[in-house]
Structure 1
Amino acid sequence: MLNPSKLLFFLTLLLGTLITISSNSWFGAWMGLEINLLSFIPLMTNSKNILSTEASLKYFLIQALASAILLFAIILMHLLNNSYILLFNHFTLSTLISSSLLLKTGAAPFHFWFPGTMEGLNWFNCLILMTWQKIAPLMLLSYMLTMNFFMTLVIISSIVIGSLGGLNQTSLRKLMAYSSINHLGWMISAMMNGENLWMLYFLIYSFLSTSIILLFNILQTFHVNQNFLTMTTNSMLKSSLFLLLLSLGGLPPFLGFLPKWLIIQSLVNSNQLFIVTTMVIMTLITLFFYLRLTFSSFLLSYTEIKWNQNLVLNNFSYTLLLSLNMISILGLLMCSMIFSIF
């Protein structure tokens, strides 16, 4: 539960992001990022878990480095342009600012801290790190994104590393971290075609991640082999996880396919065929490791152990899971129907 100090830090965490995205100067944006960072550190730490202390220290050092690089680039830009407003006329400066923001989000090739940090956190903090903490850096990145060799390299490396990195993982938190890196590649590629597309992708990704992490949190599942024990007692939970993971992977009948479909269409229209081909092939690999999570416990290895306690869900949790699952399954159908009506 959130005690008063944790609640205060949680509110300042939200405030930091809001300051960043509503700021009209780079110094204001940097200040918002710092408030956000210093609010998240106390939320991460847990005296009972030594891994969380390591994760919070790692997170602080990386984010402080990224903030220092960002501040250096902002001051340099101010000295060159003699102006506080958002101006970009220097390739090196824009690359420096982009790199610091990508380091903050955990996009490849600046992803090295992300899976290790995720491993030391509880599911609630993992969710914040995967969703809310990405809003401010991505928003700043979208202001200044120009499609050049550097950004193409970032998109392709994020998608390749996010796909291949999750293949040999047994930890669910690391698996979700590599999944997040893969989705970041899609979001950055969506930015090339305007604000709306990446925001839609981010919203649907956040919704699906929240649904899956809620399920993992209810079951207190942290490793792949725990699915064999927890998933046998309740077929509803098993089916929910299976379908939500398929949706997150972007399989066509589900809601997760909608933003991927739109991005593929817009990239093909702008003749970015190499990036599209790489993205589609690598997403099939992510779909494979999502499938591997539940496939064996779902179909092949069905074991019931007498001493395994049955998980009893209250009505609220059960209804919530069912609702989230139905939105995930019927979301694409509903969107298509609304589009055809209007």
Structure 2
Amino acid sequence: MMKEFDVVIIGAGPGGMTSALYASRANLSVVMLDRGLYGGQMNNTAAIENYTGFKSVMGPDLAKDMYKSSTQFGAKYAYGVVESIEDHGRYKIVHTDSGDYQATVVIIATGSKNRKLGIPGENEYAGKGVSYCAVCDGNFFRNKKVIVVGGGNSAISEGLYLSHLVAQVVVIHRRDQLRADKVYQKRAFANPKMKFVWNSNVTKINGDGKKVTGVEVRNKKTGKTSHLTTDGIFIYIGNVPMTSAFKNLKITDAKGWIKSNDQMETRIPGIYAIGDVRENQLRQIATAVGDGGIAGQNAYEYIQSLNDSKN
């Protein structure tokens, strides 16, 4: 049977949960659909230090608190992998692997996923030493040597987290300086367990068939290739949007990011996009929450305008 709601929110990260709070508080029927646990990437983050109101908070703890807040006015949460959306003007149909939903408004909050290096050995050793989540897998590498690839906030903050568990963290970055916030850089450079390899790319991940044993690294300036032994490699080189289910709507740019204005509206009335899935420069919990509040309120305004036009 078709399940009917005023608002379907695709994704239950910080943006999606904030939209659910605002829309349900306006007495709209709301469901959040997600393919995993509510909270999104917050569940894979050790300590969050740049969200107002908290000096430092564990990602999973913040996710739980947000979920309680987002459902206090009746918003529902359901598992579902969204396959496509049909636009029928005044209503939309969201097709999932566990049934279909009809709604007046759809808010897309699917976020993004870790970008892969795309090198030999990466897929072969996924889960066998190749990881994209220090919080998830760091404990498997206690007192061992690991490599972190990347130079942004995610790479350095997760490297710092790993340094409390492992014997050594080697950061490999393709540039000659980090892009991470200065507070992370200061901590990383002062950490005796963290070493840095500059102007270099990992070109291959080696293993013995069961686990990672090392990586091949190419220096961009000299062209020289060297081998580094390691027990694991954590990859943080950016993100790609999770928007393949929405390509038929033609609301994405060439790279797959959804285009929406400052009111979170896409080119299709009644379909909004928020958070990390947007074509946006800054992708943080704070920006996702801001987007979510705008979209949740605008969902109410849009539905009211449709109701007024009937009278």
- How would you bin the TM-score normalised by the shorter chain? under 0.3
TM-score, structure 2 as length reference: 0.23
Of structures 1 and 2, the one scoring higher in RCO (CA 8 A, sep 6+) is: 2
Bigger share in strand: 2
| Larger helix fraction of residues | 1
TM-score w.r.t. structure 1 length? 0.22
